[in-house]
Structure 1
Amino acid sequence: MQIAVIGAGIAGLAATKVLTVVGHGVTAFDTEPDLGGVWSPTRHYPGLTTQNTRMTYEYSDHPAPASWPDYPSAQQWHSYLRGYVDRFGFGASLRLGTGVSRAEPTPEGWDLHLDSGERFQAEQLVVANGVFSQPLVPDWPGRAGHAEAGGVVKAPSQQLTLDDARDKYVVVVGYGKSACDTAMALSAVAASVIVVPRRLLWKGSKVLLGKHFEDVAITRLGERLFANPRRFGPVFRVLSRATVKQQGLAALGLVPPGRFDDIIAGTASLATDGFFDMVRAGEIAVRRDCSIAELRGARADSGTGIPEAVLDDGTVLRADLIVAATGFEQSVPFLGPSLTVQNADGEFELFRNTLPISVPNLTFAGYNASLTSSLSAEVGAVWIAAHLAGALNLPSPSARQATISRDLAARKARTRGKHASGTVVLPYSLGTIDAMLSDLHAVLPLRTRTAQWTRRSYSTDFRDPLAAAVRALT
C-alpha cells in the first residue's frame, strides 16, 4: 500500500518507520529542509531543551545516549532523531523541503498537490503536521508602524537568535516554556527583557519535596491525582505551598491564580532553570496580567523612530524585539473544508485522537498531546498500522462518535477550553496509551503496570509489547 505522511517531526517519523517496517511504501513530506519538526534546526530558539527527561522522551526502541544530560539540548535531540532515521534505514522515504498545499480525496485514495508543483498519489494519508508547529502570532494594531521604526516581531520558532536581541529592548509575550526559556537566554545579551503574561501559569519544579516532577506526573498514581483534584485537595494544597516557597513566588508577586492542579490546563509547564532567580535579581521583569493593546513607532525628540508596545493598562514599553510566545494554531489547511474532521468549535473529532468518523483513508498521528509525546506517537503509529491491516475490532461509528464527544467535553471542562482544539489528553498520558494498547491486544505485563504506579513510566517499559504488536502485523 502506498502511504503519504504529512510531517517529519516526532509523530511523522514514528509513523513512517512503523508503516515501512510492516511492508508499506511510505513517503513523508515536510516543509522544513531538515527532519525533526520542532527539533529541526530551523525551528530552534536560544535556550531550547527538552522538557521531558531523555528517558521519558525517547522512542521505546531507540535509547538516547546515557552520557547525555537528563534534559538534552535542541541540537542533541535533533541528532537523536537523525540517528533514529539512520538506525531503521528510512531516510529515503523523507521528502524534506517539500510541503503539501492541498490533499484531495479520490476513489483510489488521495491526490496530493505539492508546493513544488508536482502531484503525488497515495492510497492512505497520515496527517502528522504537529499540533504545536504553526505559531499563532497576534496581529496587533500598529504593527506596520512598529516595523517602520525598526521593531521586529518573531515567534521563538521563527529562527530567533541571540543576535536578534543583542543590546535591544526585548518584550516577551507569554508565560509558557518557550517564553521563559527565551527570556532567560536573551537576557544575557539584551539591554532589557520584560515578560508580559496575560495570565500567570503554575510551573512545576523539576524536584519538589524530594520527588522528581516525572515521578509524580508520569505515574499511574499521578494521573489519578490530577484527574481527581478535588478528592485529593490536601495533596495539592501541600504541593502549592511547597512550590510557592521553593520558587519564591510570594516575594516576587508571581503567585498564579487558581489551584496548583491547574498546571494541567497549562500543558504541565516546568519552571525554566534560573528564571525566578533572574527575576529576583532584576535581570528579567514580569508585567503580570497584562496584554499588548497596540504597537507603535513613536517619534523621539531627535526624530528617531522608537518601536514601542502599549499595554492594556496604559504602560508604554520600549520594544525593539517582541517575542510572541503566544501559542500555536491547530489547523490542517491542506484539507478542503468539505472534509469533516473538526466540529463547529474547531475541535478535532478523532477516535483515539487518530481516526476521523466520516473521512475514509485518513488517519492522524501525534494529535494526542501528552507528557509522553514520543511514546504516544509510537503507540499511535502501531495503532494506525493495525487499523490499515484490519486488525482492530473497533466500535460502531455511532459508538466511536459518542466516545469522541464525551472525551472532548471532559477535556474542555478540565482545561477551561485550553485543550489545543481537543488534542491535549492530559492528565491521561498513560491512560490514552493503555486504551490504544488494549485495542492492539498488547497490554503491559502486570509487573510493569504495578511498578508504574509509584515510579515514572519509561519509554522502554513499552518496547516489548510494541515490538510484539509490530511482529504480528508483519
Structure 2
Amino acid sequence: MQIAVIGAGIAGLAVTKVLTAVGHEVTTFDTEPEVGGVWSPTRHYPGLTTQNTRMTYEFSDHAAPQTWPDYPGAGQWHDYLRGYVDRFGFGANLRLSTGVALAEPIAAGWDVRLDSGEHVEAAHLVIANGVFSRPMVPDWPGRAAHADAGGVVKAPSQQLTLDDARGRHVVVVGYGKSACDTAMALTASADSVTMVPRRLLWKGPKVLLGKHFEDVAITRLGEVLFANPRRFGPVFGVLSRATVKQQGLDALGLVPPGRFDDIASSSASLATDGFFDAVRSGAIAVRRDRSIAELRGAGKPQAVLDDGTELPADLIVAATGFEQSVPFLDQPLTAQNAEGDFELFRNVLPHHIPNLTFAGYNTSLVSSLSAEVGATWIAAHLAGALTLPPLPARQAQVRADLAARKARMRGQYASGTVVLPRSLGNIDRMLGDMHAVLPRRTRLAQWTRRSYSTDFRETLAAAARGLGAVG
C-alpha cells in the first residue's frame, strides 16, 4: 500500500520504520531539513536536553550509547534518531525540506499537495506533525514598536541562541521545561534574565527522598497513585513537603498553587539543573503570577506587566506553549470537536475519516515507546488484525477519556492528546487490541521499578512478525 506520512519527528520515524518493515511503500514529508521534530537542529535551543533518561526515552530496538549521560543533549539525541534511520535503512523514504500545503481525500485515498505544487497520491495518510511543533507566541499589544526599538520576540524553538541574549536584558515568559532550560542557559550571556510565569508549576526533583523520579512516575504503582490523587493524599503531602524543602521554595517564594499531583499534566517537567540556585543567587529573577500586558519601544524595548511593572526587554523568549493543529486539512476533516479536542480512538483512529490515522497524538512520559506501540497498532489496523469495539462504543470511550482528562488536568491536556498519567495503561490498551502480550513477570516488575523501553522489545517484535515484518 502507498502510504504518506506527514512529519519526521519521533512518531513519524517510528511509523515509517514499522510500516516499511511490514511491506508498505511509505513516503514521509517534513518541512525541516533534518529528522527529529523537536530534536531537529533547526529547533534546538540553549540548554535543551532530554527530560527522560536515555533508558526510558530510547526506542525498544535501538539502544542509545551507554557512555552517554543519563540525560543526553539535543545534539546527541538528534544523532540517536539519525542512527535509527540509518540502522533500519529507511532514509530513502524521507523527503525533508518538503512541506505539505493540503491533503484532500479522493476515491483512491488521499491527494497530498506539497508546497512546491507537486501532487502525491496515497492510499492511506498518517498525520505525525507533532502536538508540540507549532509554537504559540502571543500577539502582545505594542509588538511593532518594540521591534522598531530593536526588541526581539521568539519562541525557544525558533533558533534561539546564546548570541541572541548576549549583553541584553532577557524576559522569559512561562515556567515549563523550555522556559526554565532557556532561562538557566541564557544567564551565561545575558545582562539580566527575568522570568514571567502566569502560573507556577511543580517541578519534580530528579531524585527525591532517595528515589529517582522515574522510579515513581514511570511505574505501574506510580500511575495508580497519580490517577487517584485524593485517595493517596497523604503520599502526595509527603512528596510536596519534601520537594518544597529540597528546592527551598518557601524562602524563594516559589511554592506553586494547587496540589503536587498536578505535576502529572501536559506541562509536567523536572527541575532544570541549577535553576533554583540561580534564582537564589539573583542570576534569575522570577515575577510570579504575572503576565505581559503590553510591549513598548520608546527609546528602549520594554515589557509592561499586568501590575504596571516595567521591565527592560531586549529579548523576549515566549515559552508559552504550542498550538495543536492540522493546517493542511480542511476544517471538516480535522478530527477535532467543537472544543478543539481531537476525537481519536486510542489517540490514533478518527471516527468518520477513512484511510487516516494519527501518530504521536498520545503524549506521555514514555514518548518514544508510545510512538512505537502506536506505529505497530497502525500497521495492525491496516492489516485488519485489530479487535476493536463497534463505532458507537469507540465514540463513547473517546468521550469518556476526554472528559476524564479535562477534569483531571483542568483543561491543560493539549487538545485531548495527553494520556497522562496513564502512560503505561494506554500502552496496555493498544497491546490488548493487537492481542500482544507483555510477559507477566515483566508487568509485575514494572509495579515497583521504572518501565524501560526494552521491556517491550520482544512483545512488539512478535506483533510485527505476525503482520509479516521482515527481520
TMscore range, shorter length: over 0.9
Equivalents in 2 of 1:29, 1:40: separation in Å? Answer: 14
Report the equivalent of 2:175.
175
Aligned with residue 336 of structure 1, among 330, 335, 339: 330
Q: Which runs of 5+ in 2 are unaligned?
A: none
Paired position in structure 1 for 2:4: 4
User: Contact conserved, 1:174 with 1:196, CA < 8 A, in 2?
Assistant: yes
Q: Is residue 267–residue 426 contact of structure 1 (8 Å, CA) maintained in 2? A: no
Deviation string, structure 1 residues 40-96 (Cα, Å, up to 9, x no partner) = 000000000000000000000000000000000000000000000000000000000
Q: Distance in 1 between matches of 2:334 and 2:309?
A: 44
Distance 1:367 1:267 in 2: 15
Q: Which residue of 1 aligns with 2:111?
A: 111
Measure how far apart 1:35 and its partner are: 0.5
Aligned partner of 1:268 in structure 2 is 268
Alignment partner of 1:350 is 2:366: no
Q: Which residue of 2 aligns with 1:379?
A: 373
C-alpha distance in 2 between matches for 1:332 and 1:400:
22
Which one-letter code corresponds to 2:234 in the other structure? P
Deviations 1:291-335 (A, max 9, x none): 00000102xxxxxx2000000010000000000000000000001
Could you say which residue in structure 2 is the equivalent of 1:439? Answer: 433
- Equivalence for 2:42: 42
SS at 2:126 equivalent:
strand
- Does the Cα contact within 8 Å between 1:196 and 1:291 map onto a contact in 2? yes
Any idea what SS the aligned residue of 1:442 has? Answer: coil
Which runs of 5 or more structure 1 residues have no equivalent in the other structure?
299-304
1:348-373 CA-partner distances (Å, limit 9, x unpaired): 00000000000000000000000000
Aligned to 1:307: 301
Instruction: State which drifts further: 369-378 or 262-271.
Output: 262-271
Pairing of 1:365-404 with structure 2 (within 5 A):
365-404=359-398
**Are the counterparts in 1 of residues 132 and 322 from structure 2 also a CA contact under 8 Å?**
yes
| Counterpart Cα distance in 2 of 1:152 and 1:189 | 16
What TM-score comes out, normalization by structure 2 length?
Answer: 0.99
> What is the distance in 2 between the residues matched to 1:144 and 1:415?
35
Give the AA of the match of 1:347: D
Matched, 1:460 2:454: yes
Q: Which residue of 2 aligns with 1:318?
A: 312
- The amino acid of 2:179's aligned partner reads A
1:142 maps to a residue whose letter is G
SS at match of 2:300: strand
Counterpart pick for 2:402 among 405, 408, 416: 408
The amino acid that maps onto 1:36 is G
**Cα displacement (A) at 1:343:** 0.3
**Deviation at residue 266 of structure 1 after TM alignment:** 4.7
Tell me if structure 2 keeps the 8 A contact 1:340–1:358.
Answer: no
* Percent of matched pairs sharing the same residue: 80
RMSD of aligned Cα (Å): 0.5
**1:83 corresponds to which letter in structure 2?**
G
Cα distance in 2 for partners of 1:230, 1:309 equals 40
Displacement, 1:394? 1.1
State the distance in 1 between where 2:128 and 2:297 align. Answer: 40
